[in-house]
Amino acid sequence: MKILEIIEPLSLEIKSCNQNIESPFSGAYVSDLLSDVMAKGNDGELWITLQTHLNIVAVASVKGLSGIIVVNSRCPDQETLKRAEKEGILIAVTPLSCFEAAGRLYKIING
Amino acid sequence: MTPRAIVKKAIEHGIDIIAITDHNSMRNIPAALVCAAGSSLTVLTGMEITTSEEIHVLALFDSNNFNIEFNEIIYSNLPDIKNDVEHFGYQLIVNSIDEVLEFEQRLLISSTMLDLDSVLDLIHKYKGIAIPAHIDKEQFSIISQLGFIPEGLKVDALEVTRNIGIKETETLAQRYVMPVVSFSDAHFLTDFGNKSTELYMEEVTFEEIRRVLSQVVLI
């Protein structure tokens, strides 16, 4: 599935690396502990979180994640977005809660 | 754990310097300063601040210029959630003879709405020392919340829990090129003296602590 296909159902606003919307993703991991994502995140997954710190870009990059969905309309600061652009990490913001975003995505992927 | 009992216990243990670091509040520090006045004990003004990422950061200040403004800023950035006494107990503010002056109503254990960088900037703006707390813990530590120590982090030292031995502490100090300290994190009087950090200082002043931390030589 491509990120492009979930922009509307998850009300995503793409904040960095818009060109990556054509990229495929395999599933998603939900966590607000970056140490946990380092341990459990898988290559090609999207990451749903409320964290906006600069370190999210490095974690996504190291783990080969397909992108980061930041929930509750929390907006990453300019430095985070700048680094994401540089590292080729797509960041999207949704007004949905973690539960709602993950639930909708689960439904789309698993029918 | 009233300020009077804390000061008495610290003096009994022969401790020279303690810091009082309640969660997101400094309101019991004035009583401790009164209790320690004229004694051998130096009490530092402090706070254990919770950032919006749920990282605990220790802030230490010179008690000679006790700054109520800093406390106000943190307080105004705490969500307006009422303390649930059944779950969290009473949040007492007391004087130097253990009399209750006030029950703090707002829940102090909440996260502030300030992110890590804002908290560090704020501590330094008020001429404090900033130390991410218990970095080896699986909750509320900079490493659990952010995965690793961000590059160029503006802190004065890192704190590890008393479970970390001297060898591992040295390894961490070398890895991060930063002083690593450890304290008793005393939540009960029986915790006193469980762990301490020795600093070789020329005089017992806050600025001397800062100088010593900034001049730690890593071998």
pLDDT tens over chain A, length 111 residues: 999 999 999 999 999 999 999 999 999 999 999 889 988 999 999 999 999 999 999 999 999 999 999 999 999 989 999 999 999 999 999 999 999 999 999 999 998
Task: Give pLDDT, residue B217.
Answer: 64
Residue B99, burial from CB neighbour count under 10 angstroms (0-12, 13-18, 19+): exposed
Query: Given a cut of 80, is residue B218 above it in pLDDT?
Result: no
Distance from CA of A59 to the nearest CA of B (A): 8
Residues B36/B7, Cβ–Cβ less than 8 Å:
yes
Task: Give pLDDT, residue B215.
Answer: 87
Which pair of tokens denotes residue B127?
């001429």
Alpha-carbon separation of residue A12 from A60, A89, A107, B170 (angstroms): 18, 15, 16, 46
Residues B129/B213, Cβ–Cβ less than 8 Å:
yes
With bands split at pLDDT 50, 70 and 90, how would you rate the model's confidence at B88?
confident
Distance of CA B117 to the CA centre of its chain: 17
Query: Given a cut of 60, is residue B219 above it in pLDDT?
Result: no
Task: Give pLDDT, residue A46.
Answer: 98
With bands split at pLDDT 50, 70 and 90, how would you rate the model's confidence at B181?
very high
In this complex, which of A32, A35, A55 lies closest to B150 when CB atoms are compared?
A55
| CB-CB neighbours of B213 under 10 Å | 18
All residues of chain B having their beta carbon less than 8 Å from the beta carbon of residue A32 are 145
Task: Give pLDDT, residue A21.
Answer: 96
Contact A33 B148 (CB under 8 A): no
> Dihedral sign, CA of A83, A86, A88, A94?
positive
ipTM of the complex as predicted: 0.74
pLDDT > 90: what percent of chain B?
87
Residue B133, burial from CB neighbour count under 10 angstroms (0-12, 13-18, 19+): buried
Task: Give pLDDT, residue B65.
Answer: 77
Q: Which residue of chain B comes nearest to A50, CA vs CA?
A: B53
Residue (of B125, B130, B142) closest to B214 by Cα position: B130
Residue (of A48, A63, A49) closest to A3 by Cα position: A48
Contact A38 B147 (CB under 8 A): yes
In this complex, which of A32, A33, A55 lies closest to B148 when CB atoms are compared?
A55
All residues of chain B having their beta carbon less than 8 Å from the beta carbon of residue A55 are 146-148, 150
Contact A33 B116 (CB under 8 A): no
The identity of residue A19, as a single letter, is Q
Residue (of A43, A36, A96, A39) closest to A66 by Cα position: A43
Task: Give pLDDT, residue B64.
Answer: 83
Task: Give pLDDT, residue B87.
Answer: 83
Query: Given a cut of 90, is residue B194 above it in pLDDT?
Result: no
For the whole prediction, is pTM greater than 0.90? no
Contact A55 B143 (CB under 8 A): no
Cβ burial A23-38 (10 Å sphere, 16+ → b, else e): eebeebbbbebbbbbb
Contact A53 B148 (CB under 8 A): no
Give residue-wise pLDDT tens across range B94-106.
999 999 999 999 9
